[in-house]
Amino acid sequence: MNEVLKALRKKHNFERSAVEIYSAQIRAFPEREIADRLKAAMANEQEHVNDLRARIGELEGDCSRLGVFFQSAGKVLGFTTTLLGKVFLLRTDISIEKRAVKGYGELLQKVDFDEKSRSLVQKNLEDEKVHIKRWEESIEILKGRQ
Ligand SMILES: [Fe+2]
Ligand SMILES: [Fe+2]
């Protein structure tokens, strides 16, 4: 398999777990501003999943069979964080997103992407940076309420 497809498949798996993590976390927040941010991030992660899947299809690849595993892992991780306190949950999300930014950045350096795949990876990377900002804001919102 070529390196572009391999990279896109890997990110497709991670994005699938991101959707499940946020989906499981929404119910932990009666604070509407934060729940809304989580819903928006979940929808955005779903876009990442769909865009990656579409690009993999255009390159005539198929998605990894491990996808279901990543989905379940995301569910478990998301649920577990809801037991550990809201600030802890948000800090975990920040570290997950930082890893995503780093992972996308490394791929951009290493992999010889075609233009369309490269701009998809770049767009996702920028979105993950926005998620980091959202969780930092959310921690401030929670602190303001104590
Ligand atoms: Fe994402
Ligand atoms: Fe994200």
Instruction: Record the pTM.
Output: 0.94
Report d(CA 78, CA 38) in Å as an integer: 12
How would you class 26 by CB atoms within 10 Å of its CB: exposed for 0-12, middle for 13-18, buried for 19 or more? middle
- Find the ligand nearest to 52 CA: 1
Q: Smallest Cα–Cα separation from 22: which of 49, 3, 57, 53?
A: 49
Angle at alpha carbon of residue 112, lines to 108 and 113, rounded to 5°: 75
Give pLDDT, residue 146. 67
State pLDDT tens for residues 42-69.
999 999 999 999 999 999 888 887 888 8
Report d(CA 35, CA 100) in Å as an integer: 21
**% the chain with pLDDT above 70:** 99
Reply yes or no on whether the pLDDT at 101 is more than 90. yes
- Find the ligand nearest to 123 CA: 1
Q: Smallest Cα–Cα separation from 72: which of 24, 27, 128?
A: 24
Tokens at 60, concatenated: 């005539």
CA–centroid distance, 30 to ligand 2, in Å, is: 21
Mean pLDDT over each residue of the chain, to the nearest integer: 95
Reply yes or no on whether the pLDDT at 35 is more than 90. yes
CA–centroid distance, 144 to ligand 2, in Å, is: 24
Q: What is the mean pLDDT of residues 5-24?
A: 96
The residue behind tokens 């930014």 is 101
Report d(CA 146, CA 138) in Å as an integer: 13
Tokens at 26, concatenated: 């929404």
State pLDDT tens for residues 116-140.
999 999 999 999 999 999 999 999 9
CB atoms within 10 A of CB 97: 21
CA–centroid distance, 104 to ligand 1, in Å, is: 10
Read off the pLDDT band of 114 (50, 70, 90): very high
